[in-house]
Structure 1
């Protein structure tokens, strides 16, 4: 964008740059300056500010919009409609929007950039390992008017035990790495931060009500590695520069592909020999595939006809599978000799992952599970324990049954605890 802006101002044409977050604005202005953009011909500001000053702004010949999946909002539209003769370029890494309306309502065409997998191979993004520990009852999730899940339904769907699981799995999979946790409410964020701090892992909670000075202080401490874990609610998704994030933990289910990619890609800033870790506690991968799965972005920006229901044939299908032993989620193409590419244990390859409606099965399973718990004293004893408090094979088996973990989890945990002798 800065180079396009420089070439535009070199020809004495005026440029307007729109963004909706101050942190991104400050970074952009600094980049434009370093690139040699003529500041006298540049109007750069937050859309919330410029929309109030629209009648006083000089007419630009070029408008650059960052994070442009927001561009259908009234504030953006007010500015664009004021300058109908300007060329408008929309930039976004996630062009799809939650809900019916898509960018084809305003854009003439989409120019698709290089894929995540290609950018990773070229070193512009870090490679990653993806793990998923399913701590959510998806049948309880309800959508709001924007198409994403409501906070109330997320609170009901996400098990309270997730907070302890988040810490134990961080210690198992990403110990000592700088991590950002994405969750859905201030209460859940505070609970997760407290869970980390109780195990002497430094963590802070940040949300929209956090004062700017305090938030800036926490971000600086995180960059200086004085804080290991940032637990946030809807903040560190777009644009904020956090270069040393090596691990992302998702504790927030979403129906938004844009949010999912913003969550998961927060840890993909490259560094020599870096392998990022993504831990998905809410099984978002079952809806969206892996971050670097192939996507048809041209199809994604087309507005859905309100009078037509999408057929199941249009639902995403991904050739990915999950390891029963280490819980890694991998592409089927990466599996060689029927072994997990992460841990080396046997793995079954499924041709595709597709969401299905199995509510009746889940209800029957839940009734059966309740009856088993009532009849099984060991299961009752482990119901309120964390994984680190399990000391026998029977306890591990009961815990796995209670949480619907697969057999491989018991075997893996037993090996880690020394209950099974290694060869």
Structure 2
């Protein structure tokens, strides 16, 4: 078995302490990047070393083979699978891997320890198993153990590291969040604590919002490998069509996508043959793709779902400086950054209070930069992205009897940046048949001034210039289409 990292070793130490205190149902919080599979294998091996049997439960049949392969890679080979017609079925093996769905239709296996993966999903089957076997130890594993009432079934929360800890130690990627558009959720109802899917899909499928999602990615996405989270299948397919219409090769995943199709899509994504993958709630767990940009087009009130989604972009990778989050849902503005979401205890169904007996203060929401839509932490004055800092003066000033609104200072660009853009635009003139006038007007669209005192030297444009050019072309095409519609209507 691979050596454990410091936070994994600390989790094992705290787990042993919890069990020694008499707790039978501890919950281990293991955020994205913690190495939950290795942690689960280490706990399993710890039980095997004592001569005990282990049952490891997963939330879906599709994760059984993945778990078995991961355990075998760590040297745990005495494994059986509880699943009809599975070639790995072996009731005599000391380690059994089963899906919760399979267990709901069978008798619970004889075992000395149960490890429940993704325990925040709070399956009734697991709770029934607990109730029928009060002396049998259960260990829950979850990145987000904050489900309401989970503390009625588990008796201890073990936090060896948080998302913020893992980012600080370099095990997770830093991230930037932009809120380019704000959906109108007026009239969207709430069901089971989150937005009603049918209402939400209608609100998020408005053509202008969908166009903004695509054009923003073209402008800000830096051509990064991207996951996009949609509301439902219709919304996801609509987004896929819009991305492909804009020239971005796009994949699609939902609950009905086969394992082979997912594997092929993962390979295409890794190889760069697919730039954007739009999905409907199926890539929130068990995915270790190299995601460098994430589009949140699915508003949620759930801290659990929000954290699971953002976690897909936080894995580190070679050459990855940070993750880019394009939040078109206002979820970050409502819930805060994922690094701000933290709970010290399991939820027992009662109103949460701090250790002093007073209700815990809510986390201050981030603020949107009015210049570039970057979300900055509360209390940060100057925008870390564009440098814009609101003037701390009166909002109006008197000039000859008239009131004039005071605006922030415009964003400035150095000459090297302007030269890079001008040279990139001249490349389009030399290689794509564009006119010099087109290059000059595109430059003015970007910088607000005409290109002056710059060298006429064409170089191949970078992703930022290409995306801006594509964004402008899409905007022009849509304007032409609108004019034609108006002409026909007249």
Question: Does residue 79 of the first structure (1) align with residue 79 of the second (2)?
Answer: no
Which residue number in structure 2 is paired with residue 53 of structure 1?
106
Q: Distance in 1 between matches of 2:74 and 2:266?
A: 26
Structure 1, unmatched stretches of 5+, are 306-312, 350-412
Alignment partner, residue 111 of structure 1:
158
Partner of 2:374: 328
Match of 2:229 in 1: 182
Residue number in structure 2 paired with 1:143: 190
Note closer, same or farther for the CA distance 1:86–1:93 as it changes in structure 2 (3 Å cut): same
| RMSD of aligned alpha carbons | 2.6
- The CA deviation at 1:420 is 4.2
2:287·2:312 contact (CA, 8 Å) conserved in 1?
Answer: no
Provide the rounded CA distance (Å) in 2 between the counterparts of 1:272 and 1:348: 40
Aligned-pair distance for 1:122?
0.7
Select the residue among 203, 223, 226 that pairs with 2:250. Answer: 203
* Distance in 2 of aligned mates of 1:251 and 1:213: 26
Question: 1-side partners of 2:229 and 2:365: how far apart?
Answer: 26
Q: Distance in 2 between matches of 1:415 and 1:74?
A: 61
Q: Distance in 2 between matches of 1:102 and 1:237?
A: 22
2:73 matched residue in structure 1? 34
Q: For 2:143, which of 52, 68, 93 is the aligned residue?
A: 93
Mean CA deviation greater in 318-327 or 11-20 = 318-327
Q: Report the alpha carbon displacement of residue 319 of structure 1 after superposing the two structures with TM.
A: 5.1
Supply the distance in 1 between the matched residues of 2:344 and 2:268 (Cα, whole angstroms).
37
Q: State the secondary structure of the residue aligned to 1:267.
A: coil
What's the CA shift for 1:294? 4.8
Matched, 1:234 2:281: yes
For 1:315 and 1:143, the matched residues in 2 are separated by: 24
For the residues of structure 2 that align with 1:265 and 1:252, how far apart are their CA atoms?
Answer: 15
Match of 1:355 in 2: none
The CA distance in 1 between the partners of 2:129 and 2:293, in whole Å, is 38
Shift of 1:315: 7.5
Output one character per residue of 1:62-94: Cα deviation in whole Å (capped at 9) or x when no partner: 1111111112x2222233344432211111111
Q: CA deviation at 1:128?
A: 0.6
Q: Distance in 1 between matches of 2:324 and 2:348?
A: 33
- For the residue of structure 1 that corresponds to 2:286, the secondary structure is coil
- For 1:90 and 1:63, how far apart are their aligned partners in 2? 8
For residues 19-58 of structure 1, what are the alpha-carbon distances to aligned partners after superposition, in whole Å with 9 as ceiling and x for unaligned?
1124433332222223233433101111111232225x2x
Superposed CA offset, 1:288-341 (max 9, x none): 10111152341x623136xxxxxxx767332522111111112136x3xx4211
Please, which of 340, 349, 353 is the counterpart of residue 383 of structure 2? 340
* 2:448 is aligned with 1:419: yes
Shift of 1:18: 0.7
**Counterpart contact for 1:340–1:347, Cα < 8 Å:** no
- Distance in 2 between residues matched to 1:315 and 1:252, nearest whole Å: 27
Kept after mapping to 2: 8 A contact 1:115/1:294: no
| SS of residue matched to 1:161 | helix
> Deviation string for 1:251-270 (max 9, x for gaps)?
10111111001111111111
TM-score (ref. length: structure 2): 0.65
For residue 156 of structure 2, give the secondary structure of its aligned residue in structure 1: coil
Give me the whole-angstrom Cα distance separating, in 1, the residues matched to 2:241 and 2:212.
Answer: 13
Instruction: Kindly provide the CA deviation profile for residues 321-363 of structure 1, in whole angstroms up to 9, marking residues without a partner as x.
Output: 2111111112136x3xx421111122589xxxxxxxxxxxxxx
**Contact kept in structure 1, 2:340 and 2:363, CA below 8 Å:** no
**How far 1:207 sits from its partner (Å)?**
1.4
Equivalence map 1:230-379=2 (5 Å): 230-242=277-289, 244-274=290-320, 275-298=322-345, 301-304=347-350, 316-318=362-364, 320-332=366-378, 335=380, 338-347=381-390
Q: CA deviation at 1:174?
A: 1.6
Q: Is the 8 Å Cα contact of residues 96 and 297 (structure 1) preserved in structure 2?
A: no
What is the SS of the residue equivalent to 1:223?
helix
Following the alignment from structure 1 to structure 2, what is the Cα–Cα distance between the partners of residues 226 and 292? Answer: 32
Distance 2:250 2:223 in 1: 12
Could you say which residue in structure 1 is the equivalent of 2:33? none
Q: CA deviation at 1:185?
A: 1.3
Judge conservation of contact 1:126–1:269 (CA < 8 Å) in 2. Answer: yes
